[in-house]
C-alpha cells in the first residue's frame, strides 16, 4: 500500500496543487525572498528526480512552507539523509524492514512478532504483480496482488503480508485471500493504521515446489485522494510488475515510476496506455521502495 503523501516529493507536489499557485509563481516568489530556486529544480523536487541537499536549498524550504501554508518544518522533516556518493553508493543494500512509511517501528515489530515469520526466508519471490484501481474520485478502490513463490524446504505453508492506511491516522485496509490461500492470524494497529496477516496456503509445499498466491486489499471509506503506490520490498524479487489503472474521467497530469534502493532513488516518466493504465516493470528487484506516483490537474467542472 502507499500513503498520500508518503515522501518529500509527494508532499511538495500535493501542497503546490492544493495552493493553486503555479510552479512559475513559486520560483518567482522564492527569487524575491532571496532564496532563488530554478523552475527546473522545483520540477525535479516534486517529481522525485532530485531533492534539496545544499544549504541554500534547505534555506529555501522555509519560505516554501510559508508560501504554501504549511507548518514550519513540514517539508524539511520529510527529507532523509543525503544520498550516498562514490564508494558508499555501491555498498550492498541490507534487507529493508517492511513497515509503513510513517509507522511506529516498535508497534510494527509487535504486530509481526505475534505472527509466524519463521517460514518467510524459506520462500523465494519469483514474481510479484500489484494491480491498483483508481476511481473517478481519484481514490484507490482496491489492490490485487499476485505472487509466485517457491519453497526452499519442505513444509512451508504460509507467508506474512502487511498493509497500511492511505493517510496517517486513517483506518487500515482489510485483506482477503482469493487464490490458493486463506487468512490466518490478523493483527491490526488502529492507531498506526497498520495491518499484518498470515496467508495460509491450501497445503504445505514440498522443497522446490512453486505456488501462485493471490490476495486483495480493500480500502475503507471515505477514501482520500491517491498520489501514488509503493511496494516496500524487504526481500529480493525476481520480477515485479506494478499496474495502476485510472478511471478515464480522472486522468493524472503525469506519472513517474521510482525505485529507491541502497540509498539512491531513480525516477522515470511513464505514459498511460489505451486502457488508461501506467505500468512499471523491474527484474531482480533489490530490497527497497518501488512504485508509481502521479500528479493531478485541476478537477473538471
- β-strand 123-134 against 237-246: which pairing, if any? parallel
30: Cβ–Cβ under 8 A, 6 or more apart, which residues? 36, 37, 60, 63, 64, 67
3-state class (DSSP) for residue 83: coil
Sheet (strand 254-261) strand order? 228-233, 288-295, 254-261, 264-270
DSSP type of residue 38: -
Sheet (strand 237-246) strand order? 174-179, 210-218, 140-151, 123-134, 237-246, 277-285
39: Cβ–Cβ under 8 A, 6 or more apart, which residues? 23, 24, 27
179 compared with 71, residue with greater pLDDT:
179
Please give the share of the chain, as a percent, with pLDDT higher than 90: 31
Task: Report whether pLDDT(153) > 70.
Answer: yes
Top-ranked range on mean pLDDT: pick from 80-84, 96-100, 165-169, 292-296: 292-296
For residue 36, give Cα distances in angstroms to 41, 46, 59, 63. Answer: 10, 16, 10, 10
What structural domains does the chain harbor? 8-78 (1.10.260), 96-295 (2.60.40)
Average pLDDT in the chain: 81
Task: Report whether pLDDT(86) > 60.
Answer: no
Which residue reads 512559475 in cell numbers? Answer: 24
**Averaged pLDDT, 133-154:** 93
47 compared with 99, residue with greater pLDDT:
47
pLDDT at 85: 47
pLDDT at 133: 95
Please give the share of the chain, as a percent, with pLDDT higher than 70: 83
Q: Are 227 and 283 in contact (CB under 8 A)?
A: no
Confidence of residue 263 (pLDDT cuts 50, 70, 90): low
Which residue reads 527529507 in cell numbers? Answer: 79
Q: Which of 128-132, 208-212, 250-254 has the lowest mean pLDDT?
A: 250-254
> pTM for the full model?
0.64
Which residue reads 498511460 in cell numbers? Answer: 272
pLDDT at 79: 65
Q: Which of 201-205, 216-220, 241-245 has the lowest mean pLDDT?
A: 216-220
Amino acid at each position: 500500500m502507499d500513503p498520500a503523501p508518503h515522501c518529500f516529493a509527494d508532499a511538495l507536489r500535493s501542497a503546490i496543487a492544493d495552493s493553486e499557485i503555479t510552479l512559475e509563481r513559486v520560483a518567482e516568489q522564492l527569487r524575491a525572498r532571496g532564496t532563488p530556486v530554478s523552475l527546473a529544480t522545483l520540477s525535479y523536487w516534486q517529481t522525485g528526480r532530485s531533492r534539496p541537499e545544499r544549504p541554500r536549498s534547505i534555506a529555501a524550504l522555509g519560505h516554501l512552507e510559508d508560501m504554501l501554508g504549511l507548518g514550519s518544518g513540514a517539508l524539511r522533516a520529510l527529507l532523509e539523509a543525503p544520498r550516498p556518493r562514490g564508494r558508499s553508493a555501491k555498498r550492498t543494500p541490507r534487507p529493508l524492514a517492511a513497515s509503513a512509511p510513517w509507522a511506529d517501528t516498535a508497534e510494527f515489530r509487535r504486530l509481526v512478532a505475534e505472527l509466524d515469520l519463521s517460514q518467510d526466508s524459506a520462500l523465494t519471490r519469483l514474481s510479484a504483480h500489484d494491480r491498483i484501481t483508481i476511481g473517478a474520485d481519484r481514490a484507490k478502490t482496491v489492490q490485487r496482488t499476485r505472487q509466485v513463490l517457491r519453497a526452499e524446504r519442505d513444509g512451508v505453508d504460509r507467508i506474512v503480508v502487511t498493509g497500511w492506511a492511505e493517510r496517517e491516522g486513517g483506518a487500515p485496509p482489510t485483506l482477503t485471500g482469493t487464490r490458493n490461500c486463506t487468512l490466518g492470524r490478523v493483527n491490526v494497529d488502529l492507531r498506526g493504521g497498520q495491518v499484518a496477516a498470515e496467508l495460509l496456503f491450501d497445503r504445505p509445499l514440498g522443497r522446490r515446489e512453486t505456488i501462485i498466491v493471490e490476495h486483495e486489499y480493500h480500502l475503507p471509506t471515505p477514501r482520500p485522494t491517491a498520489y501514488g503506490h509503493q511496494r516496500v520490498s524487504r526481500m529480493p524479487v525476481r520480477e515485479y510488475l506494478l499496474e495502476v489503472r485510472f478511471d478515464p474521467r480522472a486522468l493524472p497530469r503525469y506519472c513517474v515510476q521510482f525505485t529507491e534502493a541502497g540509498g539512491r532513488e531513480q525516477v522515470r516518466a511513464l505514459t498511460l496506455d489505451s486502457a488508461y493504465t501506467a505500468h512499471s516493470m523491474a527484474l531482480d528487484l533489490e530490497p527497497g521502495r518501488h512504485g508509481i506516483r502521479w500528479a493531478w490537474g485541476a478537477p473538471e467542472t
